[in-house]
């Protein structure tokens, strides 16, 4: 059994100091990342270059000594591997070809045909497993099926995921077929990451909060449960973090419903609510507001201490409630880490 702190928390241990990492910790707020991305030429070239992707994953570990490194990649690499066109527009984000009906599903590849395209990602994981400090946990990841589907249907990020909801409500057969394909492909993708050396898996359901009622059960809970069960069957003991962002009351019982070892909490809920309603079932991760990485100061210190204290009586991994933003000050990241470790 590893004594790495994050693995201990994921096994349910309550630690005197919570382990810490940060969503999007390898990214545009770091000058060394921007230099490496310029060397790569563009974002996708960086993702598919194992040498440079390894480098940017290691950069925040060297600078800050986080307890975990998360693979540098993107949740939309899987749709691209399935046959979707993918490109990034500077200043606006990703664009994809769209799925609007059954013909779009028929034009995609199967779950078994994705690995040649994703081989550079597996190579990055393998390199990281060899190069990370022995005390640092390596996290692999993928987008959860609902969130990935929203991009594949709309062709871009949207404020309310309306195109995905429209397809779900008007052509449920096509929508369900897409969810099922993404689910099966995600199992294969993540299993290969584990084979390559990932020690923990995280599922990002960034748009889970726009699902309600039975749709939340069918398209946030059920696919996550299926992925986790398959991965744990293939890789006994594999710890898995689930992040149904802005799920509100959907966070309650999410451990039990899905089999997740840890549920990551966004900052739309209070630490007190998370401790009372979610941490009682197992490890939680979160939930400092990302804005503190921009504004810093005493408010950052106070909220960080408050989160650490509130989650002190159970297993907790300190993290942000969402990813760090490009306008963050690297000095504020250090202040957060120092505050956690000295609390």
Q: Where are the beta strands (DSSP E) in the chain?
A: 68-70, 86-89, 93-96, 137-143, 200-205, 240-244, 262-264, 283-285, 316-317
Q: Which residue has the tokens 């549920």?
A: 263
Annotated catalytic residue 28: yes
- 136: which DSSP letter? P
The catalytic residue among 67, 74, 205, 261 is 74
Considering only the C-alpha atoms of the chain, give the largest distance between any 2 of them, rounded to a whole number of Å: 56
Q: Is 30 exposed, middle or buried (0-12, 13-18, 19+ CB in 10 A)?
A: buried
The catalytic residue among 24, 127, 245, 291 is 24
Rounded CA separation 124/131 (Å): 10
- Backbone phi, then psi, for 26, in 5-degree steps? -95, 105
Written as one string, the DSSP assignment of 306-323 is HHHHHTTTS-EEB-BSSP
The catalytic residue among 11, 34, 37, 95 is 37
CA separation (Å) from 32 to 10, 52, 58, 67, 150?
Answer: 31, 11, 11, 20, 32
Rounded CA separation 47/51 (Å): 10
Annotated catalytic residue 151: yes
The catalytic residue among 151, 245, 251, 261 is 151
CA separation (Å) from 225 to 15, 58, 220?
Answer: 27, 31, 9
Annotated catalytic residue 37: yes
CA separation (Å) from 55 to 51, 68, 200?
Answer: 6, 15, 20
Q: Is the dihedral of CA 198, 202, 203, 204 positive or negative?
A: negative
Rounded CA separation 222/287 (Å): 24
Per DSSP, what are the bridge partners of residue 70?
139
Q: Which residues are catalytic?
A: 24, 28, 37, 74, 151
């Amino acid at each position: 059994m590893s004594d790495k702190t994050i693995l201990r928390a994921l096994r349910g241990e309550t630690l005197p100091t919570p382990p810490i990492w940060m969503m999007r910790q390898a990214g545009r707020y770091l000058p060394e990342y921007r230099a490496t991305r310029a060397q790569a030429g563009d974002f996708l070239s960086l993702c598919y270059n194992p040498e440079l992707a390894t480098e940017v994953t290691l950069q925040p570990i060297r600078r800050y000594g986080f307890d975990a490194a998360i693979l540098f990649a993107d949740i939309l690499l899987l749709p691209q591997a399935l046959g979707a066109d993918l490109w990034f527009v500077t200043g606006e984000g990703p664009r994809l070809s769209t799925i609007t009906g059954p013909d779009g599903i028929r034009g995609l590849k199967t779950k078994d045909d994705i690995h040649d395209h994703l081989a550079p990602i597996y190579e990055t994981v393998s390199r990281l497993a060899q190069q990370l400090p022995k005390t640092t946990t390596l996290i692999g990841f993928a987008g959860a099926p609902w969130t990935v589907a929203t991009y594949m249907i709309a062709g871009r990020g949207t404020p309310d995921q309306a195109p995905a909801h429209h397809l779900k409500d008007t052509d449920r057969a096509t929508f369900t077929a897409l969810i099922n394909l993404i689910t099966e492909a995600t199992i294969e993708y993540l299993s290969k990451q584990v084979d390559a050396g990932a020690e923990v898996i995280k599922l990002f359901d960034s748009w889970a909060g726009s699902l309600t009622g039975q749709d939340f059960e069918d398209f946030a809970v059920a696919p996550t449960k299926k992925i986790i069960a398959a991965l744990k069957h293939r890789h006994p003991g594999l710890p898995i973090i689930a992040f149904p962002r802005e799920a509100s009351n959907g966070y309650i019982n999410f451990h039990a419903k899905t089999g997740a070892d840890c549920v990551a909490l966004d900052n739309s809920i209070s630490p007190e609510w998370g401790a009372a309603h979610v941490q009682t079932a197992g490890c939680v991760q979160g939930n400092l507001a990302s804005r503190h990485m921009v504004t810093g100061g005493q408010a950052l210190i106070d909220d960080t201490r408050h989160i650490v204290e509130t989650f002190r009586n159970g297993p907790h991994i300190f993290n942000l409630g969402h990813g760090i933003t490009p306008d963050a000050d690297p000095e504020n990241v250090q202040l957060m880490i120092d505050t956690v470790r000295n609390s």
